[in-house]
A and B are shown apart, each in its own frame.
Chain A
Amino acid sequence: MRTTVAPAPLFQRANRLLLAAALLILLGYFIIYGVYAVNLMLFPFDYDQGEGFELVDTVMFSRGEWPYQDTEIYPFYSSNYPPLFHVMAAPFVWVFGPAYWYGRLLGFLGTLVTAGAIALAVHREGQHRWIAVLSGLAFLASNTVYHIGPLFRQHMTMVMFETLAVVVLAGVNEISDTRQRRRVLALGLGLILAAGYTKQLAYTTAIAALLFLFIRQPRRAVVWGLGFGLVGVAVFLAIDQATSGQWWLQTITANINEFRPDQTVGLFRLWFGLHGFLLIPAALMVVYELYFARLSVYSLWFVMATANSILSGKWGAGDSYFATAIAAMCILSGIFASRTLNASWHFPQNYLSRWMVNPLRRFAPQMAAAGLVIIPLIYLGYGRAVLHIPTEGAVFSDIAGALNIQGNAYGGRFYDSAGRIAGGYADIGHLTTAEDIAAGWSIVERVRATDKPVLSEEAAFNLLAGKDVITNPTQLLNLANNGLYDGAALIHMIENQEFGLVIFRGQLYPVPVLIAVTTYYEQTDTVRMNGFNYMILEPRAQ
């Protein structure tokens, strides 16, 4: 039975007005996001810890080298990330040399593509243009997406491939033409492989997609799943062979990190606090499909991605692990909203509909009218919950002042409704300044001034000074935490004071390396850049 009603014109007008208000607010976030992205593209140093090492990976790929190296041999460098994002950025190195802007541009464009795919999926399923646009903008308005979208990081490119894959696969079982269906299946599964070789975390999207195919037609899932697995394993083995086993060691073995349950719990609470307005309709959509319709790939993807977010409690993980679930949430909540506004819910008769739905059918006209107001209010509520805005700069300081918003991060440079309650939440979002850039160049000058190599926790200083990048501290720590790092050669160089300078930011090296540095080097200066204190250490007098 369908619920069809003709709501009063008053509700229709209220609906349009409130939808327009929600659209204005989410467009405002989109403008802030664009300004933030451009600001970061103009910043020539690390904004988020570790971006520079992704640039090093890109530079190595541009030279035809693998970044999966033996960390016991000079320059002690290795990477724990799959190659695709860096391979995509490598052509930029040939033209522009090592720089951050193109990696940040790729990340930013990836989020726009993801938002477009979300809007497309919602429009295809729900046939409501306003809601489709709001769903895409809601993704970009998420605090998590804002933080990491325009960084030189592979995560959001993985989310882009994942989203494209599920949007492509969503209707594959309904394609009657065999050749076309096979082409769509190959494209969808190929996009999942691309996601997996951008970042390992995409394995849950692969599981969700194969589960979806299995539920709809087990035979197809088995045949295509086998082919998918064979291709994935063949690529994996080929890279492992080409890197003499370093690929397996650096990207798999070294990635098993300590799990902190309190961090997971904190991040889940934060995730709900920020996205609850859209999470509830998304969860209701899953329940609806489970009991009253067929399970879509979007529901399975949402459930798998949410479950996978438990891994956000790992050392080195954080709120970025929720980005895939946020994309799925935007699609499902958009479909829920569209169906409510179009009054196109369908509840077949079963024990649950007889118990829970049938008694409410006589209120269908009133509920449909209420939905016209509630749905835009949900997007307005979401817009308030994810409030984030820089509080300095010509325009933003005026807006923040007019709205009486006080910065709560970076000494009043940025307001984030998330606050800082959960470990692992990205402590970024502010705009960089000319002073930050000048401070960075002053460190580069210090690196240039020594004729010895420099051990720096940020790769950009060495790259811009034309020196070797020595080590990737977090990867050394990953290896050390798994008992896979010796470090004798690096420590020997430190003991012999073979480095002209050591530059610390987060002191994320393994403990024996930190002890050697503080024994043989002394801090001579501190440079504050982008909210962080960069410690400059020089050799102690012997």
Chain B
Amino acid sequence: MLNEHFTLTKRHLGLLLFIGGVMGFWGILAIDLLDAGREGGIGPAQQIALGLMATAALIGLTLIPLGNHPA
């Protein structure tokens, strides 16, 4: 990856977005699960962040089939 001629492909980018989106989504949900003392459930900022993570994961999925085209 640290080769001078290496460049990210659409598949790489898709995987990064998908994995990052899924992990981010569950990570944001985990804030409430781990911090059990919090009140009010999922707040507006969390909802926005969840939406962004889900969108990133979906875009990632659609990029994966594009294969080795450079990103």
Contacts and interface: CB of A to CB of B under 8 A. Distances in A.
B66 interface: yes
A310 B6 contact: no
Interface in A280-300: 290-291, 294-295
A264 B48 CA distance: 11
Interface string B34-71: 00000000001100100010000001001101100111
A219 B4 CA distance: 6
Interface residues of B, number: 20
A478 B37 CA distance: 27
B55 to A, nearest CB: 10
B2 A294 contact: no
Nearest to B8: A215
Contacts of B66: 291, 350-351
Interface string A217-238: 1110010000000000000000
Nearest to B66: A350
A259 B62 CA distance: 33
Interface centre among A217, A310, A351 (most CB of B within 10 A): A217
A127 to B, nearest CB: 23
Interface in A79-104: none
Contact of A216 (B7, B45, B48): B7
Contact of B71 (A295, A310, A351): A295
B6 A215 contact: no
A5 interface: no
Contact of B13 (A215, A217, A350): A215
Interface string B1-34: 1111011100001000000000000000000000
A272 interface: no
Contacts of A290: 59, 63
A218 B48 contact: no
A111 to B, nearest CB: 30
A395 to B, nearest CB: 44
A74 interface: no
A294 B70 CA distance: 6
B71 A215 contact: yes
A217 B4 contact: yes
Interface string A301-316: 0000001001000000
A347 B69 CA distance: 13
B41 to A, nearest CB: 14
B8 A218 contact: yes
5 contacts: A216-B7, A218-B6, A219-B1, A295-B13, A351-B66
